[in-house]
Chains A and B, each alone.
Chain A
Amino acid sequence: MPDITPEVVSHLAHLARIALTDDEITRLTGELGQIVDSVAKVSAVATPDVPATSHPIPLGMVTREDVVGQTLTTEQALSGAPEHELGQFKVSSILGEEQ
């Protein structure tokens, strides 16, 4: 297994969209290394003949009638939004200036 380096943690933080501070990256690098070492033992018993289980109780494909159900109003859906306008969620620019 590869070592957990500050660069790896920094990359993961970017993927997870969390602007970690340098101190946090340093601390998490140590902690994650320990945690990954302790959980890596799963591969010892996970032999190719064992099927994976993603859900405890398989129910198969669950469907419903294709009819309009009880849904939120626009006002309800926007009620928790930090910012909204004209019935839509509002965010800052999608692209940076250099783009």
Chain B
Amino acid sequence: MSASELTTASAARLSELLAAGEVSSVEVTQAHLDRIAAVDGDIHAFLHVNAAALDTARQVDAARAAGDALGALAGIPVAIKDVLCTLDMPSTAGSKILEGWIPPYDATVVARMRAAGLVPLGKTNMDEFAMGSSTEHSAYGNTHNPWDLTRIPGGSGGGSAAAVAAFEAPLALGSDTGGSIRQPAAVTGSVGMKPTYGGVSRYGAIALASSLDQVGPVTRTVLDAGLLHDVIGGHDPRDSTSIPDAWPSFADAARAGLRGEGLKGLRVGVVKELSQEGQGFQPGVLQRFRESLALLEAQGAEIVEVSAPSFDYAIAAYYLILPAEASSNLAKFDSVRFGLRVEVPGGTVEDVMAASREAGFGDEVKRRIILGTYALSAGYYDAYYGSAQKVRTLIQRDFDAAFEKVDVLATPSAPTTAFPLGSKVDDPLAMYLNDLTTIPANLAGVPGISIPAGLAPEDNLPVGIQFMAPVREDARLYTVGAALESLLESQWGGSLLSLAPAL
């Protein structure tokens, strides 16, 4: 098989080829390393490429040759967002304060992927500590959208989304605190899934906001996301917020969708507050969103308008809760146990700490730490943080009420297509509005998936549609997502990414 056939194949297809002995993991891995070498100078999805990737691939090939029982994704390369700790690669979370830091442990999701025989290809770029919607807040330079190199790849996980969209990796891991998996997926024409809070371990994910963060798959197809979710998900005693329940196979749920199951009689709720003109949505985004709904309806789904009035307060609550939790979580970067230390001659440990944090943190990180410190300070706690937590309750109630009437909720995944690099980086409030549609799911802990819905007619850039389901009903999203993906791809005559310009 040609190298380009290997890099454009889905993980599910590669799994079949590897199991049949038609290709080796070394060949698949080499094809992706070559692709990275060829295009990542333009894309800059990777902060680090794993020098040991081919060794790992060789081991998997040897295990297969020896007749070992291997998982479905054994031998398949995967890119890892730099927020996840890896024993053998630097883990910087996009920050200068962690430049070159090699953690003494693997994140649970990374350990599970290694145990399943996946081949880590490298670490992907991100907004510093996952604070951003464009990856422009990385301390290591911008990542470029494969559809248009002058545009943002979304954020914070722009590196992981761009890596799969540019065929540098078939699979990637992301983390989603307010949309950092789903919004990059939308603007790069890829698939991103934020699992139910607690469905995937956070152990070894460098924390941004602990009550919102969730790790999840970044892929080109819904089935691939389900396959990866099956590997990384499930209870982890090292994460006390990890849900102890058993989970169904998400790959099986996606396969059911690909067979056309799940749409007849499905009640799809369209959130009135997140789908109308005049709410900052680009016309082409709304057009593709409505066309997707019409496709579902034609297959027997029932489209129902639902109202979630508290969602209007979601961004405000989020930008109090997130900075509050972040200001606490980022206190650990104190120049003592790991990370940057700036020497201050004659200075105390506090002077060294303050100088190190000044030098090591970027503007957005400082902004959010100071905002969070303010929101938590005596006298303002009740008005800000306390009120935001109450809004969280109201948002959960809106979800509960909606899910009494419908099986899934649908919104556009992001209000616009990819915007030009540099256009919002100096306007924090404008940047925060990009997470309008994704934040409610994080506040309520419900799962959300973004899949490609087409290209906006006005700019020929990808649009995503988001589905959300009740807590613990992640499987429903894989079925609905795969079913719609299959319907759309038969209209397009292939995947949306097959329409992307050559790099």
**Could you list which residues of chain A lie within 8 angstroms of chain B, going by C-beta atoms?**
1, 4, 8-9, 12-21, 24, 28, 31-32, 34-36, 38-47, 50-57, 59, 62, 64, 72, 76-77, 79-83, 89, 91-97
Judge whether B237 and A96 touch: CB under 8 Å.
Answer: no
Residue of A whose beta carbon sits closest to that of B317: A42
CB distance from A13 to the nearest CB of B (A): 6
CA distance A8 to B195 in the complex (A): 39
Judge whether A45 and B310 touch: CB under 8 Å.
Answer: yes
CA distance A13 to B366 in the complex (A): 9
**Could you list which residues of chain B lie within 8 angstroms of chain A, going by C-beta atoms?**
101-105, 196-198, 211-212, 237, 240-241, 243, 310, 313, 315-317, 319-320, 327, 331, 334-341, 344, 346-355, 357-358, 361, 363, 366-367, 369-371, 373-374, 377, 383-384, 386-394, 396, 428-429, 442-446, 471
Residue of A whose beta carbon sits closest to that of B392: A53
CA distance A59 to B239 in the complex (A): 12
Contacts known (A46-B391, A57-B241); A39 close to B336, Cβ less than 8 A: no
CB distance from A74 to the nearest CB of B (A): 11
Residue of B whose beta carbon sits closest to that of A51: B393
Judge whether A64 and B443 touch: CB under 8 Å.
Answer: no
Judge whether A34 and B313 touch: CB under 8 Å.
Answer: no
CB distance from B360 to the nearest CB of A (A): 10
Judge whether B390 and A15 touch: CB under 8 Å.
Answer: no
CB distance from B384 to the nearest CB of A (A): 7
CA distance A39 to B197 in the complex (A): 24
Candidates A8, A64, A80; contact of B237 at CB < 8 Å:
A64
Candidates B338, B339, B354, B392; contact of A19 at CB < 8 Å:
B354
CA distance A50 to B353 in the complex (A): 39
Candidates A21, A44, A47, A92; contact of B344 at CB < 8 Å:
A92
Judge whether A38 and B211 touch: CB under 8 Å.
Answer: no
Contacts of A94 in B (CB 8 A): 348-349
Contacts of A36 in B (CB 8 A): 371, 374
In the complex, the number of residue pairs spanning A and B with C-beta atoms less than 8 Å apart equals: 188
Candidates B319, B335, B443, B445; contact of A35 at CB < 8 Å:
B319
A-B residue pairs in contact (CB < 8 Å), sample of 21: A1-B383, A12-B373, A16-B327, A16-B357, A17-B354, A20-B366, A38-B316, A39-B316, A39-B388, A45-B391, A46-B388, A51-B393, A52-B393, A56-B212, A56-B396, A56-B444, A57-B471, A62-B241, A80-B339, A89-B336, A91-B349
Judge whether A39 and B319 touch: CB under 8 Å.
Answer: yes
Contacts of B351 in A (CB 8 A): 19, 92
CB distance from A44 to the nearest CB of B (A): 8
Judge whether A43 and B211 touch: CB under 8 Å.
Answer: no
Contacts known (A53-B389, A59-B243); A28 close to B384, Cβ less than 8 A: no
CA distance A71 to B319 in the complex (A): 35
CA distance A43 to B428 in the complex (A): 21
Judge whether A96 and B390 touch: CB under 8 Å.
Answer: no
Contacts of A50 in B (CB 8 A): 390, 393-394
Majority-rule SS of B interface residues: helix
Candidates A38, A41, A62, A95; contact of B429 at CB < 8 Å:
A38
Judge whether A32 and B367 touch: CB under 8 Å.
Answer: yes
Judge whether A42 and B429 touch: CB under 8 Å.
Answer: no
Contacts of B442 in A (CB 8 A): 56
Judge whether B371 and A35 touch: CB under 8 Å.
Answer: yes
CB distance from A91 to the nearest CB of B (A): 4
Residue of B whose beta carbon sits closest to that of A27: B363
Contacts of A44 in B (CB 8 A): 313
CA distance A45 to B351 in the complex (A): 41
Candidates B370, B384, B393; contact of A53 at CB < 8 Å:
B393
CA distance A77 to B388 in the complex (A): 37
Contacts of B390 in A (CB 8 A): 42, 45-47, 50-53
Of B212, B241, B243, most buried by chain A (CB within 10 Å of CB) is B241
Contacts of B394 in A (CB 8 A): 45, 50
CB distance from B186 to the nearest CB of A (A): 22
Candidates B104, B349, B428, B446; contact of A31 at CB < 8 Å:
B428
Judge whether A83 and B341 touch: CB under 8 Å.
Answer: yes
CB distance from B148 to the nearest CB of A (A): 29
Judge whether B445 and A57 touch: CB under 8 Å.
Answer: yes
CA distance A54 to B443 in the complex (A): 10
CA distance A53 to B337 in the complex (A): 33
Contacts of A4 in B (CB 8 A): 374
Contacts known (A32-B374, A43-B387, A52-B392); A16 close to B369, Cβ less than 8 A: yes
Contacts of A35 in B (CB 8 A): 319, 367, 371, 428-429
Judge whether A39 and B384 touch: CB under 8 Å.
Answer: yes
CA distance A97 to B346 in the complex (A): 9
CA distance A36 to B446 in the complex (A): 27
Contacts known (A57-B198, A82-B335); A91 close to B352, Cβ less than 8 A: yes
CA distance A93 to B393 in the complex (A): 46
Candidates A79, A93, A97; contact of B104 at CB < 8 Å:
A79
Residue of B whose beta carbon sits closest to that of A99: B348
Besides A38-B316, A92-B349, 18 other A-B contacts (C-beta < 8 A): A12-B373, A18-B370, A39-B384, A39-B388, A40-B316, A40-B383, A42-B384, A43-B383, A44-B313, A56-B396, A56-B442, A56-B471, A62-B240, A80-B101, A80-B103, A83-B341, A92-B347, A93-B348
CA distance A25 to B439 in the complex (A): 29
Candidates A24, A76, A81, A97; contact of B336 at CB < 8 Å:
A81
Contacts known (A19-B358, A57-B241, A59-B240); A39 close to B320, Cβ less than 8 A: yes
CA distance A24 to B370 in the complex (A): 11
